[in-house]
A and B are shown apart, each in its own frame.
Chain A
Amino acid sequence: MGIKFSLLTVVALVLAVFLGVKAAGLQYFFGVIFPYAAIFIFLVGFIYRILKWARSPVPFRIPTTAGQQKSLPWIKQNKIDNPSTTAGVVARMALEVLLFRSLFRNTKVELREGPKIAYQWEKWLWLAGLAFHWSFFIILVRHLRFFTEPVPFFVHMTDRLDGFLQVGLPGIYITDLLFLAAVTYLFIRRVVIPQVRYISLPADYFPLFLLMALGLTGVLMRYFTKVDVVKVKELALGLVTFQPKVPEGIGVLFYIHFFLICTLFAYFPFSKLMHLGGVFLSPTRNLPNDSRMKRHINPWNYPVKVHTYAEYEDHFRDKMIEAGLPVEKE
């Protein structure tokens, strides 16, 4: 159900632009109005979600400790996987965010007769995840060349590094291949691994199809059905300088591509894609394990009913005296 529904939604989105541009002449809507709306929704939604998370306090210091604690001076602490300082936390978070440290630990369980259990090497998810996220990021940076004039040096540099293979004309970007391969892998594993398929929701398939369509239209435009890049840049620059205009004669493929990325942006704050922001706020990762050294304050800590020693002694006094245990009141 999830797969079909998500696929059909993406197909419907593509058809909507196609008909909108080809039949109804809605270039201005798809080229200007919707992109502005999407960016607006993205920014407001993203900030709203972060603020909503941030409004809930962190009452307890609950890092998942993944290495040796700070202990006696002669015991070597694992300062990154079990940080006790801010610097350690920054290092841990950097590894987590940039290299997916936790996912790198992944293994796969194999159940054998007996029953016996074995653990197998399984880094594919990590690898595909890393390939996907980094490719996507680099592709976004590359696309800045449409939105800037003059194009900043780091965009040029990214472009050159990404295309260093110099295969074909125009040169193939490595990230284009990686992006499509990784997204395809992530989709295939979701369908093929029974457990993962079982837990998958429409909200898991939809972004994948959206990304696939996004990548395919991009590749089509660059390598196969050319669009007028100069005009595309004109439109893009118009948008960022708030002097929007829609040049005549940009192919429909561009509008499809552009609409899909805008949809992704607009969809972002309402979806699991918010893990981009959430990972930074995860209390099991972004806190030092120092709560025996430094008191962590819970802003809503409140007094609770306890059973006091006096009540305890009142209840047991005779027995305690008889057993020779010291008491407060004889």
Chain B
Amino acid sequence: MANVPKPNELVIDHRPPATGWMDTPVEFRPGTWCYAAKPKNLEAVGLPNPREWSPIDDDWKLPDNWKQIVLEGLRERLEKYRSLRIFMDICVRCGACSDKCHFFIGSGDPKNMPVLRAELLRSVYRRNFTTAGKILGKIAGGRELTMSVFKEWFYYFFQCTECRRCSLFCPYGIDTAEITIIGRELLNLLGCNIDWIAGPVANCYHNGNHLGIQPHAFKDMIEFFVDEIEAVTGVRVEPTFNRKGAEILFITPSGDVFADPGTYTLMGYLMLFHEIGLDYTWSTYASEGGNFGLFTSHEMMKRLNAKMYAEARRLGVKWILGGECGHMWRVINQYMDTMNGPADFLEVPKSPITGTVFDNAKSTKMTHIVEFTADLIKHGKLKLDPSRNDNHVVTYHDSCNPARGMGFFEEPRYVLKNVCNHFYEMPPNTIREQTFCCGSGSGLNTDEFMEMRMRGGLPRANAVRHVHEQHGVNMLSCICAIDRAVLTASMNYWVPGVEVSGVHELVGNALVMEGEMERTTDLRGEPLPGMEDSDDEDL
């Protein structure tokens, strides 16, 4: 974060510039754009125009007929997506969305107002696809597609995290995520992706997960956490991998296998499954819950998502359980069954412990772990000692995708209130359906983008700071792997003293396991309340 200004030095000016937006060319300032996709990552999945290039180059090395490719691509998508056609046509520019975007709030750049982000595409649409635009041009809000406009698209479509907060406030439900998704598809037609997305996509396609963890290493890493759990609890959990005939296939984002603090959440899953004796298996082939294909194109989303059902079929499981992840659940809830279903070879998910049938997943056959755990707790199947989380004063960050792409609000709160004693909500304008993005979603969680990430993270951090100051909140819990990674950075920057955790990390802390030794630390190795003087330091 060397080049990021300090929080109090960050200049935010919400006043628009003197020049009109059509006449203000984009400026690629360090810290506000992401590196270009490396050719090998595009080649790995057969995407067009792989080459070495950088967004700050004058020449983006596009084919001569690039304009035709883009306009043809736009025409095709207008015919395939009613959403796009309608969202191109009916915006009245009322401005209700303008200050709803975290990137606008934190940067003041008018083109980060959802309405203008969409106008970047809309202006080209009007010029090329509407009668008025063809005849009247600029008067009708039309704009020629030039290289400068195309660069603007790249810059601003990779400054949108597809969080859909704007779509909540729009009187017509215009969804900038939809526009950004399709805008990025158009960019991808010419090989203009960012590497932080293209890399994970290539990895996921060939190795099974975004981080490129190979099968043996995946197993090793999980087994490392088995040892960690044993050190904390004295209980040895025994996960299985690629096991045919298991009842349930468990899939979670690979970020939780790889990096703190997601790893503690992963430990929570392992402990829970062991404690209830769940007949489940991990897969090294479908070892990714997340889907950076969503951030590339609908087609790539489908190509990566296909593994879940394919693996469930191969292993012969009855249903799939999904871990805590944000955009993963948008894909599962709103795309998976349509793209890769029907999952008629699976059964409607049924908890083997409580007998609850998850009717709300009767077609996808995939249940969210927090739904699953909430049901366990409701039926009194877990022995919990919430006082083990007493060092944590907890609040909950609704991740955008489960919030506005699913409506997942009560389940995590129910679990949290059962596993910890100190829980406080952030202000109502910043939670549930009105929740703010972490600032780094949709594949933008890369280091070179840090200034923009911190700007975009401001509204969320601002709300955390509020409860931090009012109630001493020191733990921001969430159900998203990207959140866990990036909110940590954002908290360090904006609200030092607040840590980030998954919900199942706190479940793991509170879960009283059969045959466990007296615990002295939590899953992070921090002393439990009242155990500060304990000498047990052998973690």
Contact = CB atoms under 8 A, between A and B. Distances in A.
Contacts of A55: 79
A296 B338 contact: yes
Given A62-B83, A323-B219, A199 B110 contact: yes
B339 A52 contact: no
Contacts of B41: none
Contacts of B8: 114
A325 to B, nearest CB: 5
Contacts of B169: 102-103, 105-106
B522 interface: no
B303 A306 contact: yes
Contact of B141 (A68, A201, A316): A201
Contacts of A278: 86, 89-90, 172
A275 B83 CA distance: 13
Query: Which one of B172, B311, B458 has the greatest number of beta carbons of chain A within 10 Å?
Result: B172
Contact of B119 (A64, A82, A199, A270): A199
Given A202-B139, A297-B338, A325-B241, A129 B411 contact: no
A281 interface: yes
A294 B462 CA distance: 39
A150 interface: no
B132 interface: yes
A71 B341 contact: no
Interface residues of A, number: 98
Interface string B28-69: 000000000000000000100000000000000000000000
Contacts of A125: 94-96
A329 interface: no
Nearest to B401: A65
A194 B110 CA distance: 10
A279 B16 CA distance: 29
Interface string A66-83: 111111101110100110
A76 B206 contact: no
A107 B96 CA distance: 8
Contacts of B410: 68, 71, 75-76
Interface stretch (A163-171, A216-224, A307-315): A307-315
Contacts of B366: 292
Interface in B76-104: 78-86, 89-96, 98-100
A300 B339 CA distance: 10
Nearest to B46: A305
B265 interface: no
B80 A54 contact: no
Nearest to A198: B16
Interface stretch (A21-29, A253-261, A283-291): A283-291
A301 interface: yes
Interface string B3-19: 00001101010111000
Query: Which one of A70, A289, A325 has the greatest number of beta carbons of chain B within 10 Å?
Result: A325
Interface string A113-150: 01111010000010001000000000000000000000
Contact of B82 (A57, A271, A297, A305): A57
Contacts of A319: 214-216
B122 to A, nearest CB: 10
A28 B213 CA distance: 79
A69 B406 contact: yes
B337 A292 contact: yes
A37 B298 CA distance: 43
Nearest to A328: B314
B96 A103 contact: yes
B168 A325 contact: no
Given A59-B81, A203-B141, A64 B404 contact: yes
B531 interface: no
Query: Which one of B205, B206, B303, B410 has the greatest number of beta carbons of chain A within 10 Å?
Result: B410
B220 interface: yes
A277 B18 CA distance: 35
A274 B16 contact: no
A103 B92 CA distance: 13
A75 B358 CA distance: 13
B373 to A, nearest CB: 11
Specify the main secondary structure of chain B where it touches its partner: helix
A312 B203 CA distance: 12
A279 B90 contact: yes
A62 B334 contact: yes
B170 A315 contact: no
A103 B170 CA distance: 6
A108 to B, nearest CB: 7
A249 interface: no
Interface stretch (B173-181, B188-196, B475-483): B173-181
B21 interface: yes
B299 interface: yes
Contacts of B371: 71-72
Interface in A173-199: 193-199
B244 A326 contact: yes
Nearest to B455: A115
Contacts of B46: 305
B499 interface: no
Contact of B171 (A57, A103, A274, A312): A103
Interface string A38-76: 000000000001001111111111101111111110111
A293 to B, nearest CB: 5
Given A102-B168, A312-B285, A326-B244, A195 B303 contact: no
Contacts of B167: 64, 284
Interface string B403-426: 111111111001000000000000
A291 B303 contact: no
B205 A109 contact: no
A1 B116 CA distance: 18
B470 interface: no
Contacts of B205: 307
Contacts of B140: 201-203
A72 B378 contact: yes
A109 B105 contact: yes
Interface in B428-459: 429-430, 433-434, 458-459
A195 B16 contact: yes
Given A199-B21, A278-B172, A300-B80, A68 B285 contact: no
Interface in B244-268: 244
B433 A59 contact: no
Given A199-B21, A199-B115, A66 B132 contact: no
A165 B241 CA distance: 77
A154 interface: no
Interface string A204-244: 10000000000000000000000000000000000000000
Contact of B338 (A275, A301, A326): A301
Given A111-B105, A199-B113, A305-B303, A56 B85 contact: yes
A199 to B, nearest CB: 5
B335 interface: yes
Contacts of A270: 130-132
Interface of A: 5, 49, 52-62, 64-72, 74-76, 78, 81-82, 84, 96, 100, 102-103, 105-109, 111, 114-117, 119, 125, 129, 193-204, 270-272, 274-275, 278-279, 281-285, 289, 291-298, 300-301, 304-309, 312-313, 315-316, 319-320, 322-326
6 contacts: A66-B404, A194-B15, A279-B172, A292-B332, A292-B366, A306-B306
Given A58-B82, A115-B7, A292-B360, 6 more contacts: A59-B338, A115-B462, A119-B430, A197-B16, A292-B366, A324-B219
